[in-house]
């Protein structure tokens, strides 16, 4: 049996922003190193948590280049490259491959709503055809509450049949364990990754591949521990304890806006106030919210 790919704990890394409004390369590289040191298998940078869709293509490319130039192995990076414009998705994906990345996380084109299954299939298929690189591995990104474009099972089946070996995984951020379990059951060999930290453990028990999650910015070590030891009866108590800390962290950052909460706590934890910035339409927590979160 072939191993699932990708497999493990991938951090949906936050993106720090400079006073001049640009992604902060130095802080980001330091964060990636920290996450890997804490046990993450890789960095799913430039996703929803990373505010990628608030950055230009140039800003996205420059951040990815900075991470690779800093010596972080490109095979440990799963950058998001799916944007609204098909030709831009192609360009971002090619760029990632040119840096040695092989696996990207790809949103469906998310401007038009109510698109047909044929249209969604055509969009992904045309990206694969135009990128035209056998190294390409795609993790589909199902996050209907944000993209408002769900990825139906029928489309996944067609893509896997048309491009064997290319569509290797799916990040399921809809927050519904039953949907993740149904994906595992429907698509043997597809790496199903939980988009919600507390669901990684039950998903692993159901045959899932791991997670790409936001709270990992704060509790990467706990997630890595759960991933490595979830099937070890001798460590059941430790796994449950780590899982409890993951759930507590997730609940803590879900009281107010999640990305702003994560950035505030990370800024406090590493002593870098610059981590507190967000790009509109997202905003930092209000002072009252920040005080309440810190008091939790």
Residues at the contact surface with a second copy, assessed by CB under 8 A: 21, 48, 53-57, 59, 83-88, 91, 108-113, 115-116, 118-120, 122-123, 125-126, 145-149, 257, 279-283
- Write out the two tokens for 173: 């951020």
Of the candidates 49, 89, 103, 141, the residue annotated as catalytic is 141
Q: Which is nearer to a second copy, 88 or 268 (CB)?
A: 88
Please state the closest distance from residue 128 (CB atom) to a second copy, in A: 12
Q: What is the DSSP string of the chain?
A: -PPPSS-EEEE-----B-TTSSB-HHHHHHHHHHHHHTT-SEE--SSTTTTGGGS-HHHHHHHHHHHHHTT--GGGB--B---SSHHHHHHHHHHHHHTT--EEEEPPP-SS-S--HHHHHHHHHHHHHHH--TT-EEEEEE-HHHHS----HHHHHHHHHHSTTTEEEEEE-S--HHHHHHHHHHSTT-EEEESSGGGHHHHHHTT--EEEESTHHHHHHHHHHHHHHTT-GGGHHHHHHHHHHHHHHHHHHTSS-HHHHHHHHHHHHHT-GGGG---TTS-PPPHHHHHHHHH-
* Cβ neighbours for 87, distance < 8 A, ≥ 6 positions apart: none
Told to judge if 163 belongs to the known catalytic residues of this protein, a careful annotator would answer no
Told to judge if 48 belongs to the known catalytic residues of this protein, a careful annotator would answer yes
Please state the closest distance from residue 9 (CB atom) to a second copy, in A: 25
Told to judge if 2 belongs to the known catalytic residues of this protein, a careful annotator would answer no
Q: Which is nearer to a second copy, 174 or 282 (CB)?
A: 282
Of the candidates 103, 166, 171, 213, the residue annotated as catalytic is 171
Told to judge if 124 belongs to the known catalytic residues of this protein, a careful annotator would answer no
Query: Rounded to whole angstroms, what are the CA distances from 23 to 74, 103, 124, 263?
Result: 19, 22, 28, 14
Q: Which is nearer to a second copy, 110 or 227 (CB)?
A: 110
CA distance 142 to 108: 8
Please state the closest distance from residue 225 (CB atom) to a second copy, in A: 31
Please state the closest distance from residue 205 (CB atom) to a second copy, in A: 31
Of the candidates 15, 48, 103, 168, the residue annotated as catalytic is 48
Please state the closest distance from residue 240 (CB atom) to a second copy, in A: 33
Please state the closest distance from residue 88 (CB atom) to a second copy, in A: 4
Q: Which is nearer to a second copy, 111 or 273 (CB)?
A: 111
Q: Which is nearer to a second copy, 42 or 108 (CB)?
A: 108
Q: Which is nearer to a second copy, 70 or 125 (CB)?
A: 125
Cα angle value 287/145/38 (rounded, 5°): 65
- Active site amino acids: 48, 111, 141, 171
């Amino acid at each position: 049996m072939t191993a699932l790919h990708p497999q493990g704990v991938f951090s949906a890394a936050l993106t720090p922003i400079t006073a001049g409004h640009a992604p902060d390369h130095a802080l980001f590289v330091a964060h990636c190193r920290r996450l890997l040191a804490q046990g993450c298998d890789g960095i799913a940078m430039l996703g929803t948590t990373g505010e990628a869709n608030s950055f230009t293509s140039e800003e996205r490319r420059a951040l990815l280049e900075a991470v690779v130039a800093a010596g972080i192995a490109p095979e440990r990076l799963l950058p998001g490259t799916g944007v609204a414009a098909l030709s831009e998705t192609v360009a971002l994906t090619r760029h990632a491959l040119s840096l040695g990345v092989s696996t990207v996380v790809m949103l469906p084109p998310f401007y038009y709503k109510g698109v047909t299954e044929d249209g969604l299939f055509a969009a992904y298929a045309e990206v694969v055809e135009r990128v035209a690189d056998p190294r390409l591995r795609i993790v589909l990104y199902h996050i209907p509450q944000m993209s408002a474009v769900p990825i139906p099972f029928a489309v996944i089946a067609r893509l896997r049949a048309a491009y064997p070996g290319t569509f290797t995984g799916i990040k399921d951020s809809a927050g519904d364990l039953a949907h993740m379990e149904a994906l595992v059951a429907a698509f043997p060999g597809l790496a199903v990754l939980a988009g919600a930290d507390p669901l990684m453990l039950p998903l692993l028990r159901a045959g899932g591949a791991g997670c790409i999650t936001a709270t990992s910015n704060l509790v990467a070590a706990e997630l890595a521990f759960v991933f490595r030891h979830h099937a070890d009866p001798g460590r059941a108590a430790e796994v449950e304890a780590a899982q409890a800390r993951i759930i507590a962290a997730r609940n803590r950052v879900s009281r107010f806006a999640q990305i702003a909460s994560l950035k505030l706590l990370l800024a406090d934890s590493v002593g870098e106030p610059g981590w507190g910035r967000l790009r509109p339409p997202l905003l930092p927590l209000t002072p009252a919210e920040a005080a309440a979160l810190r008091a939790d």
